[in-house]
Amino acid sequence: MRADLDTITSDVAYLKSRGFSGMRVFPQWRRPAQNPGETLIDAAGAIRSEQNWDHFAGVLREAGSCGMLVDVTFNRESLPDFSVEAYGRGIAEVARRLKGTAPHVLFDLQNERNHPVHDAMTFDTGEVIRLRNAVKAADPDRIVMMSTLGGPDESVSLALAASLDVVAFHESQSAGWYEHTAEQVQSLLRAGRPVYLQEGARAPDRGVNCSAAGVSLNPWVRAVQIAHSAGAAAWTFHTDAGFQLGARRFQDAIRACPSESEFVDALPTLRLEP
């Protein structure tokens, strides 16, 4: 929401050229010092402005024009006094506006449900069901999921109880997290739904060193290979460089972390099938 469309066009083309088939965006994300007026939805559950909508829709169009999927991840804790009801109205309005268009877009109804860092990230199963139903009432074909903490059993349980279309799973944020990927994917497949490994560890503060020097195995290269072999439908490169895109292009920012840029450059040679 803070990057201009020329930058987005350039970055989407860059990602596509490196073999990426999708990207994850947070239209509600903001740090405490950032302007809440830049978010897509306001605390009353309305689209904040047509200007913000046009910008958001432009991002989706740019990705779609390159044949890329877009995971639109919402997060309620971005705004103070954001009730579950207003939050649901806002997401449903986004779904209503996208109905019949943007088939490449799927929704994560809340990033990391039940994370202890913020009460607004907590949703009980009934609330998840109501959010899911609100989106489906507005746009029956929209694919929905909700990433949740608690391990594979909790993710499977929520997907089944709330009739979610995808199991969105966040792996451990520590060194060697991918050593458990295969067994986790097998456990998640019990839900009978596509398994989306939505977040793994990232650099530099989540168990992955930015320095590529002296590293015999790039952690993200190994992670995506294991995820693919285990049967995951999708895997996200959880990059530190992509957290703030308002100041410079992703393709420029990523060079500050050699191991991240090494992965991006290596991805086209991995020949992973969709």
pLDDT of residue 134: 98
Report pLDDT for 168.
97
Confidence band for 45, pLDDT divided at 50, 70 and 90: very high
Mean pLDDT of 192-199: 97
Q: Topology of 5-266 in CATH? A: TIM Barrel (3.20.20)
Boundaries of every domain in the chain = 5-266
Task: Give the list of residues 6+ apart from residue 28 with CB closer than 8 angstroms, or none.
Answer: 39, 40, 41, 74, 75, 76, 78, 79
Provide the terminal-to-terminal Cα distance of the chain, rounded to the nearest Å. 29
Share of the chain above pLDDT 90, in %: 80
pLDDT in tens, 240-250: 888 888 888 99
What pLDDT is recorded for position 102?
A: 95
Rounded distance between C-alpha atoms, residue 259 and residue 114, angstroms: 31
- pLDDT, tens digit, for every residue of 102-156? 999 999 999 999 999 999 999 999 999 999 999 999 999 999 999 999 999 999 9
Report the pLDDT averaged over residues 198-209: 88
Residue 274: its pLDDT value, please? 52
> Are 222 and 180 contacting, i.e. CB atoms less than 8 angstroms apart?
no
Residue 24 pLDDT:
96
* Residue 25: pLDDT over 90: yes
Q: Quote the pLDDT of residue 214.
A: 65
Give the mean pLDDT of the chain: 93
Sequence-distant (≥ 6) Cβ neighbours of residue 240 within 8 angstroms: 202, 203, 204, 205, 206, 210, 257, 260
At 237 the three-state DSSP class reads: coil
- The region of weakest confidence among 176-185, 211-220, 250-259 is 211-220
> To 10 degrees, what angle do helices 219-230 and 258-266 make?
40
Q: Please give the average per-residue pLDDT across 188-202, as a whole number.
A: 96
- Please count the CA atoms within 13 angstroms of the CA of 136 that sit on its side-chain side: 13
- Identify the pLDDT of residue 273: 61
Q: What is the mean pLDDT of residues 259-265?
A: 92
Q: Comparing C-alpha atoms, which of 96, 187, 179 is closest to residue 142?
A: 96
pTM for the full predicted model: 0.95
Percent of the chain with pLDDT over 70: 98
